[in-house]
Amino acid sequence: MDVAKTKLILASASPRRVDLLKQIAITPDLIEPADIDETPAVRETPRLLAGRLARQKAEAVLTQPHIKTDWQDALVLAADTVVAAGRRILPKAETEAEATTCLDLLSGRNHRVFTGLCVGSVADGSLSLRVIETRVTFKHLSKTEKQAYLASGEWHGKAGAYAVQGLAAAFVSRVLGSYSAVVGLPLHETAALLAGRDFPVFAEWEKHSE
């Protein structure tokens, strides 16, 4: 694959993932969100779910007719984040009741965040997949803290009802592993997978020397 012509398609509409890529001076050439069913399968573990969803998101974009026709020299980057308390997969909270359940499960405990990461080639359809595990510890949450956080509304649509880079940072006492993976995209692994596919990860770094 010609490095000079390699393009990057991000299979996500998440502004967090766009911002994380910008942190390492990568700007996607195309944002193409993948529309897939994210319902866990029966007895599916959190790790397997994160990997499966990342792979399916990449495949959904790779097989789009306009992608196959107009983006032959591109790579597709897809990711999905799953928050788990034990083997229990926590939802992307849509109601205050769901958010309350998540906070109760996370309060004063360690939990795991699994981030599936998949890079695929439009040219040949080949995929590279990794799943990154990060352990996060929450302080014990008081009734007042829970009520204040619920009132903020920031939990809405967030896996496990929180965003580590948001207000809930006040609850996180420890992160063991990749912080950026908990935000939504593990940058070390992303850079490694892209570089392994001859994407010019460091091409723009000289512009950040000031």
Which candidate, 98, 80, 95, 97, places its Cα nearest to that of 44? 80
Question: Do residues 168 and 149 make contact, with C-beta atoms less than 8 angstroms apart?
Answer: yes
Set 2, 29, 80, 124: catalytic member = 80
Integer Cα distance of 67 and 61 in angstroms: 7
**Catalytic residue flag (residue 80):** yes
Question: Do residues 16 and 187 make contact, with C-beta atoms less than 8 angstroms apart?
Answer: no
CA 71 to chain centre: 23
- Packing angle, helices 187-196 and 15-23, rounded to 10: 70
Q: Tokens 């040219």 sit at which residue?
A: 123
Which candidate, 110, 105, 79, places its Cα nearest to that of 91? 105
The residues annotated as belonging to the active site are 80
